[in-house]
Structure formats: structure tokens, C-alpha cells
Amino acid sequence: MEVIALMVLSFAGYIIAYHTYGKYLSKRIFKLSVDRIVPAHEFEDGLDYIPSKRGIIFGHHFTSIAGTGPIVGPAIGIIWGWIPAMLWIFLGSIFMGAVHDLGALVLSLRNRGESLSEYAAKYINPRVRYISFFVIYLELLIIIAIFGLIIALIFKMFPQAVFPVWSEIPIAVLMGWMVYTRGKSVLLSTILAVTLMYLTVIVGHFLPLNMPAIGSVPATGIWTIILLVYVYFASTIPVNRLLQPRDYINAWQLFVAMSLLVLGIIMSGISGNLNIVAPGVNLNASGAPPMLPFLFITIACGAISGFHSVVSSGTTSKQVSSEPDALFIGYGSMLMEAALATLVVIAVAAGIGMAYETIDGNILTGTAAWQEHYATWSASKGLASKINAVVIGSANMMQILFIPKTLGIVIMGVFIASFAGTTMDSATRIQRYVIGELFRDIKYKQLTNRYITTGFAVLTAAILAFATGANGMGALKLWPLFGAVNQILAGLALVVITVFLKNRRPGLSYLISGIPAIIILIMTIWAIVLSEVTYLADGHILLAVINAMVLVLALWMVGEGVLTIIKSKHANT
């Protein structure tokens, strides 16, 4: 019953926060108004700027920001105990992450739908444009390359997911055609699309597809190439033809998966078969870095993530049809992600204890199952390891609903691969926007063509992916940097929001973003410094060099933000 109580109290807290703090921010702080003309209407072009229904853009935004972040992060961070993981997810999402997401979206809505780096230059100074561009570009580069690998790994671990995931593309195109070309009902189109999607899941269950190696290129490399080719084309066609409807369909896939997990938790909890087997607090995890500050950069999505500000100011702000919708889309989707992260914590803290098969075929239960999987930091932090833990724990909890464990594994595998795919799609399109804005700013307008900028984004991601060989795993070289880069970006977005509020709202309203900015920047810079010592000691020169660059940029960015706030204070007195 303790698991049910944890879930219910957390979900109730998210709902209360939305209707209290969220609405306060919307009405009193950001003063969202239906009378303001949003970029989707002002610059409507049928390609990127397209006014969309609130529910559809919510689905697109949520699946873009979520990806595997709220799955992998909590599944690693729980090694320090489920209590600190849940406290960070719950409090971080309400008072930091959701403020960050809503603020980034609102500022982009009021600046022509431009990216964070563009309006950072406006509110702080032009130098920050180039700082933020480097951080954003590096983050998106890693995301595009690493998420291709994640999908490839899922296809390798769960070949039953291949057919359903690829089937989502024609289903999404069909839905986009029905809604935007034929003007059919969104509800009818949704029912048809989701029904078709789950039919493909059943087919995939009985039709596993294994990618063979081709020549010297293994399956992971082949899938990475295919995925990079796909995102090139997906990122150059109108957003409402594939990206948006696919994300919307995946949002419904999430609702179904979450509903199954919630029912599984309730029924398993009532039956007494589901208990928390992870330690409440575990400060001496073997080989793990110190919980402070690394918890704050390990669990990002689900609490606060800089990537969200890139999505908010990238694809989402160009599709929001009315400014007040930003509350539901920005603040609401962050809390929905926190709810997903909560279910992930339960899956790996309790679900895994129902049954866990070891490498030699033994079945462990209870605390022994958790300790087997989380024996050491090196064993628990791998991408494949964490994805597998969530899938197995979730499938265990679904069995009480008479869903065979093998089918439950397929459902979760398709769910995770689909979310990784939507994030990869969105990241590529946003990388196109960011590169195009930079070329425009430095007066190279001939290079702002979407085919050129998308090609540059995909080519550089391919170079990173295959930098270490034909298996497509080159992005793993830079993956250790991702958490710090991501949270530095979150800090930058919060600093910009703080400057915006300081200049435009009386009193101390700017502290609603200022205090979160201080917390996340202190923790992230602290983690970067500790990581730099480790990289140098271990001889990881590439990581040490790039990490040092990120540290310098972070300190520079903080200095620019502080000076701007001080100047604005003097200007207002």
C-alpha cells in the first residue's frame, strides 16, 4: 500500500500545483492574454509556423520534451535511494522545471517564436547569443546522435518493437492528412490512429524483426544510418504532416501506457505483491559519485531540463494558437513528465522486485533483485541497463491486468522507442532553426535554406555517431557531458527569464525564476568541477577539454546575467 500512497500523493500534488502555482504564474507573473497575437498567426507559413489546437500541440510538446529522459534519468538516480529521487522530481518539477518551461515558452511567444539564443541576446546582450548557441548546438548534437543509438539498442533488445515503431510514420501521415487536408474530426482521427497503432503492437508481438549486419557494419550502425536519413526528410517537410501528428499519437500511447501502469500499481499494491525494495537513502553506492551535486544533473527530465527550453522556443512556440494555452502546454506538460518519472521510480524501486532474471537464468525477487541490478554505479548507469530495468519492472506490474509479460515488454519497448524517435525528430528540426538563425545573424543568409541547415545538423550528428567505428556508438564518448550541458542550458534559460521579469514586473516577482537559477547553476557548476578532476585523473582528455569549455561558458554566462540584473536594478531605482 505504500507504493499506492506514494503515487496518489504525488499525482494529487501535481494537480494542486497546476491549479494554484501554475495559474498564479500565468495570470499574475506572465500575464498571459488572449489579445496578444502569437507567432503562429503572425508568421503563418504552412511549414513551421502553423496555429494548432491546444490538445494536439500539447501532445507534440510533451512527447518532444520527454523522450527517454524521464525514464533513464530516474532509473539511474535511484541508486542514491528512492526518497531523494522522488523529492527532487516532485519539488523540482513544480517550482523549477515547470517555471522554466512556461517562462521559456512565453518569452519565445513574445519574440517572434525565436530560439533561446536569440532572445537571450535581446534581454542580456549579444555576447550571450554565441554562448547559448554553443551550448544548445552541443546538446542537440549529442541528442540527435545518442537517441539514434538508443532506438537502435531498443530494436536490438526488443525486435518486436520494430514493426510498430516504423508503422507510426504512415499512421501519422494519415492522421495529418485527415485533420489538415480533409478537415476531419480530431476525435475521430485520434481513435482511428491509436487503434491502428495498437494493432501494429499486437502484430509486432508475433513478428519480431532483427536487423542483420551488412558487411562490417553491425545492426546498431545500420539502424543509426536509417534513422539519420529519416530525420533529414522528417525535419524538412511541414510540421503538421508528420512530426506533429506523430507526437500527438505518441502522447496517446503514453496515456495508455501510464494508465496500464497506474492500474497495475493499484492492483499489485492491493494484492500485496508490490513493495518498495530499493533503499530509501543510499549514500554509499559502490563506485557512484556523491549524491550532491550529481543527483541534480542525473535526474533532469522529470525535474528540470534545459532541453525543454529549446523545444519551447523551437517547434512549440511556432504552433501555439493562443497565448493562454502556454499554461497547459508549458507548465502542464512538465508536471505530466514528473508524473511519468514518478511511475518510473516505482517501476525500478518496486516493480523490479517482483521478478528479475539474472544473466545465468536465475529468478530473483525482493531486495535481492534490486541489489543485483544496482550492485555498482558502472553496472547501473548504462543506457541499455536502465531501459531494461524500466521495461522489466513495468511489465511485471502489468501482469496482474492479465497482460502477458512478453506483450507488456513489447508495449513498453514500443513506448520508449517511440518517445526517443519524437525527441530525435524535434531535436533535428530545432537544430535546423538554431543553425539558420546563426547564419542569419552573421549575414550568411544564403546558408539559411532549410535543406542546407538540416543537412549540416544530420551530417555533424553522423560524424559524431560513427567517430569510434561502424557501430554508431560514437556519441557515447560525449554522453557523460550531457547532464551538465543540459542543466547549464536550464540555468541560462532561468537567468534570461529572471532578467525579463526584473525589467517588467515590480517587486520580487523575478525570484520565482531567480532562486531556481541559483540552485541549478550552483549544483551544475559544482558537478562540472568535480567531473573535470575525474576526467583529468582518468586521462579522458577530450571530455576534460570540452567540459572545461562548458565551465568557462557557464561562469561567463552567470557573470553576464548578474551584471544585467544589477544594471536593471539601478535603472529602476
Residues of the chain with pLDDT under 70: 379-385, 569-573
Q: What is the pLDDT of residue 497?
A: 96
Rounded Cα–Cα distance for residues 321 and 325 (Å): 7
User: What is the predicted pLDDT for the residue at 162?
Assistant: 94
Q: What is the pLDDT of residue 417?
A: 87
Quickly count: other Cβ atoms within 10 Å of residue 328's Cβ: 19
Domain boundaries, the chain: 2-572
Phi, psi of 356 (to 5 degrees): -140, 120
Backbone angles phi, psi at 6, to 5 degrees: -60, -45
- DSSP secondary structure of 386-400: HHHHHHHHHHHHHGG
CA distance 468 to 477: 8
* Spatial separation of the C-alpha atoms in residues 517 and 405, rounded to whole Å: 43
Q: What are the residues whose beta carbons fall under 8 Å from the beta carbon of 452, sequence distance 6 or more? A: none
Instruction: Enumerate residues 6+ apart whose C-beta is below 8 A from 412.
Output: 257, 390, 391, 394, 395
DSSP string, 73-130: HHHHHGGG-HHHHHHHHHHHIIIIIHHHHHHHHHHHHTTTT--HHHHHHHHT-HHHHH
Superfamily of domain 2-572: Amino acid/polyamine transporter I (1.20.1740.10)
- pLDDT reported for residue 407: 87
Q: Is the peptide bond before 170 cis (omega within 30 degrees of 0)?
A: no
Residue 52: strand pairing partners = 320
User: Which cell numbers in the block locate residue 431?
Assistant: 537544430
pLDDT in tens, 166-193: 999 999 999 999 998 889 898 899 999 9
pTM equals 0.92
| CA–CA separation, 443 and 137 (whole Å) | 19
Q: Is 167 left (phi over 0), alpha (psi -120 to 50) or beta?
A: alpha
